[in-house]
Copies of this chain bind each other. A is one copy, B any other.
Amino acid sequence: MTYCCGILVQEGLVMIADTRTNAGLDNISTFRKLHVFEQPGKRVMMIATAGNLSITQNVVSLVTEGLENPETGETETLSNVPSMFAAAQLLGRAIRKVRDTVGDNLQSSQLSFDVTMLFGGQIAGRRLRLFMIYAAGNFIEATDDTPYLQIGEHKYGKPVLDRAVTFKSEIFDALKLGLVSMDSTMRSNLSVGLPIDMGMLRRDELSLEINSRIDNTDGYFHELRDRWSIALRQAHQNIPPPPYGRTRS
């Protein structure tokens, strides 16, 4: 399993991904799922991946090495596409190409073609954008109304984002809340685990402010986890006791 989230706020973009992969509970590995493409001052892109690892690695290789655009006949990569929208289309085409190659054989082996991706970033002179790309190669985009997107095991980590993240949230708050969301997921699903990779890109900066990994020796992450649990235990103490009695209303 996997959990990744992307949060797009006024100040910028945060993307967080775990690194655990598993083929059964007795076959656990660590693979990077947050892929960073950075040409400082020109373009910064991040891809977070969930699903079958052979598919996601293949897709990332295709968009790095290049894939022909059937309309223009030119070879496109994340380094030369003109816009984030064109880059999302490129990722969609790469997913469909991998499906054409291995989809039938996966099906013969009773495996589904399982892949979803978060794709965010900015190209110089263009808007900062965040997309979620599905297994059919289609995609949606985060908006001011719903500034975050999730892939993988998303349910445990959704309530905190729902209640606390808005487009106006400060970017460091978005990062903290993303880490809380990740921690909530890791507590409840053993197949989502440390280390965590994260990237933080301020709008119009065109260079990552944070590109870092959290492992289980990370003091800040332990502190965040403890402080959050304490804060939750205190939060309900300020709510008055329920006024209900024996009478059904």
Contact = CB atoms under 8 A, between A and B. Distances in A.
B220 A228 contact: no
Interface in A209-247: 209-215, 218, 220, 223-224, 227-229, 231-247
A83 interface: no
Copies assembled:
2
A244 B172 contact: no
B163 A228 contact: yes
Contacts of A208: 246
Contacts of A175: 242
A227 B212 contact: no
Interface string A185-226: 001100000000010100000001111111100101001100
Contacts of A243: 220
A215 B160 contact: no
Contacts of A23: none
A146 interface: no
Contact of A212 (B173, B235, B236, B249): B249
Given A172-B241, A232-B235, A162 B180 contact: no
Given A163-B229, A175-B242, A176-B239, 11 more contacts: A156-B156, A158-B188, A163-B187, A172-B241, A173-B236, A173-B237, A209-B246, A212-B244, A214-B244, A227-B239, A231-B238
Contact of A188 (B155, B232, B244): B155
A89 interface: no
A73 to B, nearest CB: 38
